[in-house]
Amino acid sequence: MMVKRQKKLLMKPLKYSVKKYFDVVESHQSGGTLLFWMLDGIAHNFVDSKDALDILKRLTKIEKKLIEAEEIPAYFKVYVLRKK
């Protein structure tokens, strides 16, 4: 599956740099795989529209489900690290 290969490529820099000096205590996938690119430069246009905000919420849920099902990798990830 392509997702496993992508995840491996995304983790490689972390594995060799951060993991060399830190232990990963916790990590959280925060999305951005689809929406970051789809809404780049236009997201501010949706602030005043209730319908648009509803669509954004639906898109966010879809992206979250795809990430949780490992159909797509998370573009953004947050780590809590501990020095070795």
Q: Which residue has the higher pLDDT, 7 or 82?
A: 82
Domain spans in the chain, listed from the N-terminal domain onward: 2-83
For 80, phi then psi, to 5°, come to -110, 120
Q: Under a CB-based contact definition with an 8 Å cutoff, are residues 52 and 45 in contact?
A: yes
- Mean pLDDT over 46-68 rounds to 87
* pLDDT, tens digit, 9 for 90 and up, residues 4-23: 555 555 555 666 677 788 88
Specify which of 14-28, 44-58, 68-82 reaches the highest per-range mean pLDDT: 68-82
Close Cβ partners of 38 (under 8 Å, ≥ 6 residues apart): 59
pLDDT at 39 over 70: yes
